[in-house]
């Protein structure tokens, strides 16, 4: 089936739920009012619906391939990438000084989600470039900025992120890639990196790699890592691609999904690179790109969830089987199919609201420099990433179930969403790492930001308690329980926090989702109110079980011997 961008939902969320007006009220983003943003999103939607969406299934079937050292994209992907680049969507938040649109990341989050819905394998390319652009803007020298940013912003060149090595997954500090000073301001980069999304392609003139490596005097662990920009082709005197650098694609990964996206094993054999930021401070610079990508990956999960929901809804509306309470009609009128579809719809709305709320906080931090906005953005980022990607996995899986046996057959398309989205819960820091980050670094304030957010939710629920008690009362009850759970988290040592981190994050996301549904129901009523009631009655109560698990502590995990029972 075809894809339709959820423009009405973006409009509702931005006007009445996440606070786009706050962003538009700043001097930095004064032109990003709701009307202007709606026009921008409409243009992006047209491209996604008409150009990118038709590439999704054929790209999955054909896949990217490596032929005689050259990476070939599936048919139509080069044209799709050009449509993205020519529309400015690869550099939507980049500075105008380098040709970017300088729009809020709130707008970029919606555009990126639409592109992910349309064709996730292709969307990865502009998402990676956006992150590299931000990292270079913040940390690179003026010379590097002047040379690389105009090309990345225009989409002539694409950017990648090189962290992972075979022996160093999430433990980036264990990397072995070396950087030897060349004596002329350049460095010779030697080592191998794996899982490099869009590590090479035949759609762009050049591919620019941001590579983590260790200088000879770099300390062990993450504190001794530096960051380098290493292009596929060395720019000549005019800034155009010149001779080939000493790097190559060893192979393309054979993946569960995302077949159209070339995920490369990269070999650097003394490749020439340039230092980005200060020596031994590479993780600081790379985290700029990683945090950008974490919100973006959450959006990828939401985008695939939206497409899977639309696909399942269309199938359930047409498929006739059995007798429902309404007679012999389509399976959408069977109670359990209706339950699944409403669950999918309600979860997508909640996840989308959390991601956009996180984006608003980032924009407000950028526009105002206020510490409170920075703390809110930092707190919401792991939730947006983990809950967004987990929602993608859940909703895509449920979409297969709605299709029944046909969902297991590749021709219906439901299985591709499940295969494609699964990795989003793994990369840019697994969701377990996101949860651990939430209960540790993001709670170094003793939970202050968590309590601020809970205060806001409680105030909003209290304001409608008389008019919408069936929404307000369960949300107030959930807030009280989450407050007690947060007390427990901040009062216990790291091992207990980490043991309950994933369920705690899930509980917090469930309550944030309740807040979003409450706000939307107040504005629209009707079907939106019915969906909010469904969420409060059937999905919000998950918080109780999650908090019980979160407070169980670590002792039981280590008392049980998983190996003993496996013998």
- Known catalytic residues are 428
With a CB cutoff of 8 Å and minimum separation 6, the contacts of 36 are none
User: What is the rounded distance in angstroms from the CA atom of residue 205 to the CA atom of residue 280?
Assistant: 31
Instruction: Give the SS3 label for residue 87.
Output: coil
Beta-carbon-side half-sphere exposure of residue 371 (alpha carbons within 13 Å): 3
3-state SS assignment for residue 224 = helix
Partners of residue 264 on adjacent β-strands: 196, 252
Q: How far apart are CA 33 and CA 23, in angstroms?
A: 8
Q: Are 71 and 260 in contact (CB under 8 A)?
A: no
**Among candidate residues 536, 436, 545, 538, the one with its CA nearest the CA of residue 482:** 545
Of 5, 17, 11, the closest CA to residue 112 belongs to 5
Helix (H) or strand (E) holding 289: helix 282-318
Contact 388, 298 (CB under 8 A): yes
- The 8-class DSSP code of residue 156 comes to S
Q: In whole angstroms, what is the distance from residue 459 CA to residue 531 CA?
A: 22
Q: Which helix (H) or strand (E) holds 505?
A: helix 501-524
Q: How many residues does the chain have?
A: 567
Rg (CA), the chain: 24
DSSP characters over 463-489: HTTTT-HHHHHHHHHHHHHHHHHHHHH
Q: 191 with 175: CB under 8 angstroms?
A: yes
Indicate the SS3 state at residue 466: coil
Structure-block tokens of residue 36: 């202007």
* Residue 446: exposure state from Cβ atoms within 10 A (0-12, 13-18, ≥19): exposed
Phi then psi for residue 81, to 5 deg, are: -65, -40
> What's the CA gap between 133 and 141, in Å, rounded?
13
The answer to whether the CB of 351 falls within 8 A of the CB of 301 is yes
DSSP string, 95-154: -GGGT-----HHHHHHHHHHHHHHHHHHHHHHHHHHHHHHHHHHHS-HHHHHHHHHHHHH
Question: In angstroms, rounded to a whole number, what is the distance separating the alpha carbons of residues 67 and 459?
Answer: 60
Assess contact for 179 and 188: CB atoms under 8 A.
yes
DSSP string, 293-345: HHHHHHHHHHHHHHHHHHHHHHHHHH-B-S-BTTBS-BGGGSHHHHHHHHHHH
């Amino acid at each position: 089936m075809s894809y339709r961008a959820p423009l009405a939902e973006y409009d509702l969320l931005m006007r009445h739920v996440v606070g786009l007006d706050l962003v538009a009220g700043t001097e930095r983003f004064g032109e990003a009012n709701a009307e202007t943003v709606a026009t921008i999103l409409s243009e992006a939607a047209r491209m996604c619906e008409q150009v990118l969406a038709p590439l999704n299934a054929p790209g999955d079937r054909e896949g990217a391939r490596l032929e005689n050292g050259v990476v070939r994209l599936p048919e139509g992907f080069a044209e799709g990438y050009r449509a993205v680049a020519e529309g400015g969507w690869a550099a939507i938040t980049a500075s105008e000084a380098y040709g970017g649109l300088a729009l809020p990341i709130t707008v970029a989050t919606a555009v990126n989600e639409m592109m992910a819905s349309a064709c996730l394998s292709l969307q990865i390319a502009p998402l990676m470039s956006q992150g590299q652009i931000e990292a270079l803007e913040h940390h690179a020298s003026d010379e590097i900025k002047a040379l690389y940013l105009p090309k990345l912003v225009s989409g002539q060149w694409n950017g990648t992120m090189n962290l992972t090595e075979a022996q160093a997954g999430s433990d980036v500090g264990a990397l072995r890639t070396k950087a030897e000073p060349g004596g002329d301001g350049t460095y010779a980069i030697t080592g191998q990196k794996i899982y490099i999304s869009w590590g090479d392609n035949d759609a762009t003139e050049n591919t620019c790699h941001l590579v983590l490596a260790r200088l000879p005097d770099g300390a062990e662990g993450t504190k001794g890592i530096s960051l380098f920009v290493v292009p596929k082709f060395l720019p000549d005197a005019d800034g155009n691609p010149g001779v080939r650098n000493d790097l190559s694609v060893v192979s393309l990964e054979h993946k569960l999904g995302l077949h159209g996206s070339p995920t490369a094993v990269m070999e650097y054999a003394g490749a020439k690179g340039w230092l980005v930021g200060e020596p031994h401070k590479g993780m600081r610079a790379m985290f700029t790109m990683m945090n950008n990508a974490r919100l973006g990956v959450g959006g990828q999960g939401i985008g695939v969830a939206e497409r899977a929901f639309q696909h399942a809804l269309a199938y359930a509306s047409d498929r006739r089987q059995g007798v429902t309470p309404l007679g012999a009609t389509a399976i959408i009128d069977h109670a359990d199919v209706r339950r699944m579809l409403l669950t999918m719809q309600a979860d997508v709305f909640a996840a989308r609201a959390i991601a956009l709320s996180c984006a608003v906080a980032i924009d407000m931090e950028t526009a105002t420099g206020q510490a409170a906005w920075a703390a809110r953005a930092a707190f919401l980022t792991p939730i947006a990433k983990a809950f967004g990607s987990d929602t993608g996995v859940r909703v895509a899986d449920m979409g297969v179930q709605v299709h029944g046996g046909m969902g297991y057959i590749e021709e219906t398309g439901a299985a591709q969403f499940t295969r494609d989205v699964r990795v989003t819960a793994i990369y840019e820091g697994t969701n377990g790492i996101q949860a651990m980050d939430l209960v540790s670094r993001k709670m170094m304030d003793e939970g202050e930001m968590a309590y601020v957010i809970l205060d806001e939710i409680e105030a909003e629920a209290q304001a409608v308690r008389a008019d919408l008690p069936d929404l307000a009362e369960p949300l107030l009850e959930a807030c009280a329980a989450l407050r007690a759970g947060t007390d427990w988290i901040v009062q216990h040592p790291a091992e207990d926090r980490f043991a309950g981190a994933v369920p705690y994050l899930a509980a917090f996301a469930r309550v944030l989702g309740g807040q979003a549904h409450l706000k939307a129901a107040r504005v629209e009523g009707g079907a939106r109110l019915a969906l909010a009631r469904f969420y409060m009655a059937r999905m919000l109560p998950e918080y109780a079980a999650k908090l019980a698990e979160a407070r169980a502590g670590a002792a039981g995990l280590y008392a049980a011997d998983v190996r003993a029972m496996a013998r």
